Structure 1
């Protein structure tokens, strides 16, 4: 439990360090999401791949996609009440291992804050 709290504090600290931006552009986010498509799907026919389906991810608690095998680390955070809100997604998309240190995602992160906000806006369109 102590480790889970440490991870949540680290995620919140990283998220606080990322500047707040205006609402992203979903159309631009669709272009940026091409980097994610090797592992994730969205839309009506979406299926789990290496990563889970991302329909409804914005606002969803961690570890809630059926039939997806999450890392132990992510499930520990889920038990602590972690949610994929805009703040957590911003931190995660910038540096995944800072939010879920022992997570399965191997992607290093998006470097551009605008790209991150655009991807979040795109994902919000699949609520």
Structure 2
């Protein structure tokens, strides 16, 4: 082999090394870490080790109903994004996995036209003539506990201020919003 052949072999090896090095640098640029970011929704867990007050009783927690009068409809709309995968909110909107929630406040449970409700929800509707703020608050807080056997798979919204905001938004979804008691 003459020196020209050796030069071609050396150039091929050098080209391969530079290519692999360039690919490594390029992937570092494309897939660079972007720092700490929160992913998904944070799940609130009650702290069982929280101390009781000096009287020996646990402090009274404000309910969503206490906060409803001052709740923000805009914040409620943001909370409703968690529900948007299964429910629609617009007037005359189609049912999804769950029924349309337009005018849900004071509507008869399990009565939205065109939606097939679970047996548990139909039994609940027989005993409750309307979705009041109190009933909606309890249902949003923990659907499976409020209506055992419901097909709704949502785990619940634990923070009272978030539920109050969502209730304020649901109240606004009406041609004539229900009065806050």
Using the size of structure 2 for normalisation, the TM-score is 0.58
Structure number, greater radius of gyration: 2
Alignment of 1:13-28 (within 5 A): 19=63, 20-22=65-67, 23=69, 24-28=71-75
The corresponding residue for 1:89 is: 136
| Cα gap change, 1:18 to 1:57, in 2 (>3 Å) | farther
RMSD (Å) for aligned C-alpha atoms: 1.5
The corresponding residue for 1:51 is: 98
Any stretches of 5+ residues in structure 1 without a counterpart?
1-16
1:69 corresponds, among 87, 93, 116, to 116
Cα deviation, residue 83, structure 1: 2.1
Runs of 4 or more, structure 1, over 3 Å off, are none
| Cα gap change, 1:18 to 1:63, in 2 (>3 Å) | farther
Q: Secondary structure at the match of 2:100?
A: coil
CA contact (8 A) 1:26 1:119 kept: yes
Any stretches of 5+ residues in structure 2 without a counterpart?
1-60, 175-181
| Cα gap change, 1:45 to 1:67, in 2 (>3 Å) | closer
CA distance in 2, matches of 1:30, 1:54: 13
| Cα gap change, 1:25 to 1:53, in 2 (>3 Å) | same
Using the size of structure 1 for normalisation, the TM-score is 0.81
The corresponding residue for 1:30 is: 77
Higher relative contact order (CA 8 A, sep 6+): 1
CA distance in 2, matches of 1:95, 1:106: 10
CA distance in 1, matches of 2:90, 2:168: 14
Q: Secondary structure at the match of 2:66?
A: coil
State how many pairs are aligned. Answer: 111
The corresponding residue for 1:102 is: 149
